[in-house]
Amino acid sequence: MNDGHPKRVEDYTNANLVLILMNLLWIFGVIWTHWGLFPVLVLAVALNHVITRAGVVRARRMLADAPRAAGADLRDGGR
């Protein structure tokens, strides 16, 4: 019988990161052959900024949620 708990799934993070890298490389190659190196560098800097900014936003959200989670633990008696 099914006890309602799903089984543990495999972690495909590394495989997905490799696929993202491969796609990024061929897209950069196509842009480089059509428009040159400068647009590739601009796109790389823009992607780096977006990724860094997303990390900062995510960290702020985690810090903002931490006191609420700690307060909830105190309110329910530590259960």
Each residue of 4-49: pLDDT tens digit?
777 888 899 999 999 999 999 999 999 999 999 999 999 999 999 9
Supply angle C-alpha 14, 55, 46, rounded to 5: 90
pLDDT of residue 1: 54
Answer positive or negative: Cα dihedral of 62, 65, 71, 75. negative
pTM over cut 0.75: no
pLDDT score, position 35? 97
The pLDDT of residue 6? 79
Is-contact 56 48, C-beta < 8 A? no
The torsion angle over the Cα atoms of residues 16, 21, 25 and 27, rounded to 10 degrees, is 50
